Structure 1
Amino acid sequence: METRRFERIRALREDADLTHAAVGRAINVPQRTYAYYESGQRMLPPQVLCALADFYGVSVDDLLGRTDVRETNR
C-alpha cells in the first residue's frame, strides 16, 4: 500500500502538470519536504494527507490506495 500511495500522489501532481514546489506552496509545506513525501522518504502526516485530498478534490482513501473509485471529499 505504501508504494501505491506515493504513486498516486505523484500521478495526481503530474496529471495536473504541477511541480513539487507548486504543490508544496498549495499545501503549505516546503518543496523539499513535499518531494520527500512523494518519494516515500518521509511519512505523510494526517494533516498533509487531508490537505492533498482537498487540493486534488479526492478522498483520503483514494490517496491511500484503499479504493480505486475517484470520489471527491466535498
Structure 2
Amino acid sequence: MELNEKLKALRQERGMTQEQVAAKLYVSRTAVSKWETGGGSPNLDLLQALARLFEVSVDELR
C-alpha cells in the first residue's frame, strides 16, 4: 500500500475529514487531498506530525 492510500485509510478509520486533518496540521485541505491522491507528499516534519496524529510510526506510513 502506498503512502497516499495509507493516509486516506487511516483518516477514514478514525472518522476524520480532510478538513479536520488539515486543521490539526496547520495545512490546507487541498494539501491533504493531494497527499491522498498521490499528487504530492508531506515533508518530513508533516510526515512525523501525521504519524503522531494517527498514532503510528513514520515507518508504518512509508
Q: TM-score if structure 1 supplies the norm length? A: 0.78
The alignment covers a number of residue pairs equal to 62
By how many angstroms is 1:43 displaced?
2.1
1:31 to 22, 29, 32: 29
- The residue identity in structure 1 corresponding to 2:20 is A
Q: Which runs of 5+ in 1 are unaligned?
A: 65-74
Aligned-partner Cα distance in 1 for 2:39–2:11? 17
Residue 21 of structure 1 corresponds to 19
Residue 71 of structure 1 corresponds to none
More helix by share: 2
Post-superposition CA distance 1:4-62 (Å, at most 9, x none): 11111100000011110000001111111111111110122111100100111110000
Q: Which runs of 5+ in 2 are unaligned?
A: none
Q: CA RMSD in A?
A: 1.1
1:46 to 35, 44, 47: 44
Residue 7 of structure 2 corresponds to 9
Aligned-partner Cα distance in 2 for 1:52–1:45? 10
Larger radius of gyration, structure 1 or 2?
1
- Higher-RCO chain (CA-CA 8 Å, sequence separation at least 6): 2
Identity %: 29
